[in-house]
Amino acid sequence: MTNHIALYEPLMPANTGNIARTCAGTNTKLHLIRPLGFNTDDAHMKRAGLDYWDKVDITYHDNLDAFLKSIPDDKYLYLITKFSDKVYSDQDLSDTSVDHYFLFGKETTGLPEDFMRRNPEKCLRIPMSDNIRALNLSNSAALVIYEAVRQQHFAGLELSHHYEHDKLD
Residue list, annotated binding site for S-adenosyl-L-methionine? 80, 105, 126
Handedness of CA 158, 163, 164, 168 (dihedral sign): negative
**How many CB atoms are closer than 10 A to CB 152?**
17
d(CA 168, CA 132): 49
Residue list, annotated binding site: 80, 105, 126
Contact between 38 and 16 (Cβ < 8 Å): yes
Q: How far, in Å, are 28, 60, 109, 128, 139 from residue 134 at the CA level?
A: 23, 25, 10, 8, 10
Q: How far, in Å, are 91, 101, 119, 159 from residue 74 at the CA level?
A: 15, 8, 11, 30
Contact between 10 and 109 (Cβ < 8 Å): no
d(CA 119, CA 33): 18
